[in-house]
Amino acid sequence: MSRGAFIVFEGLDRAGKSTQVSMLLQALKDRSIPAQKQVFPDRTTAIGGIINDYLAKKVELPSEAVHLLFSANRWECKNSIQESLEKGTTLVVDRYAASGAAYSSVTTGRPLEWCRAPDQGLPAPDLVLFLEVSPEAQKTRPDWGGERFERDETQSKVAKSFRQLATSNWVFVDAGRTKEEVHQDVLDFALKAIEACKQQPIGKLDES
């Protein structure tokens, strides 16, 4: 039996990731391709609850501790990710390890290698769709500025870190266009990835 694809959306805050996750899921469903959504941070777990309070500025924690919590939040889901992919379900994921490293490299000031270390060994994405949005467009989108990292200076540094993390399975998508235009590109890349990884083993972060 063929496995599902591990498809991850990355990008800055308000790039349109959640919107595209929903649109892609619907399009896959319309094509009878088994698919499921996964969101990071998963704010519904015990660890996710602390992360949520930190992002909403209700608690203070050292940036390094928060970094490890974000990673632990992904490790909590490792088995379910693996099981879903193995039974043929494609996962459509809203943020993953690259967000972890890109944001924490800015908030902790530590090297990217330090930031990537806790996620090593987690399942690796087959496709990373990086949604690119300009600072101008970002600010016009609803609810901008409420959470902890939603400041211009942080975002431009995070954007730089993301670029350093890109590997051959990343694609950069211009997310400044309409939702439907972005979706057409996304769907195209996703369908190709689902086909290409069917008989491939699931990779591991930093071992791929």
Binding site for ligand T5A (CB under 6 A): 11, 13-19, 40-41, 55, 70, 94-95, 99-100, 103, 141-142, 147, 149, 175, 178-179, 182
CB of 190 to ligand T5A, least distance (A): 16
Q: Which positions from 153 through 192 interact with Na ion, judged by CB under 5 A?
A: none
Closer of 17 and 183 to Na ion (Cβ): 17
User: Judged by CB under 5 A, does residue 52 bind Na ion?
Assistant: no
CB of 195 to ligand T5A, least distance (A): 26
Dist. CA 24–CA 92, nearest whole Å: 8
Dist. CA 150–CA 123, nearest whole Å: 28
Distances in Å between the alpha carbon of 202 and those of 8, 17, 123, 124, 198? 14, 23, 7, 7, 10
Q: How many residues bind Na ion (CB under 5 A)?
A: 2
The answer to whether the beta carbons of residues 89 and 1 sit under 8 Å apart is: no
Of Na ion, ligand T5A, none, which one does residue 64 interact with (CB within 5 to 8 Å by kind)? none
Closer of 3 and 67 to ligand T5A (Cβ): 67
Helix (H) or strand (E) holding 39: strand 35-39
Closer of 169 and 185 to ligand T5A (Cβ): 185
CB of 183 to ligand T5A, least distance (A): 9
Closer of 151 and 198 to ligand T5A (Cβ): 151
Closer of 18 and 89 to ligand T5A (Cβ): 18
Q: 3-state class of 117 per DSSP?
A: helix
- No. of helices (H) and no. of strands (E), the chain: 9, 5
In terms of Cα–Cα distance, which of 116, 119, 118, 125 is closest to 81? 125
Q: Which residues of this protein are in contact with Na ion, per CB under 5 A?
A: 17-18
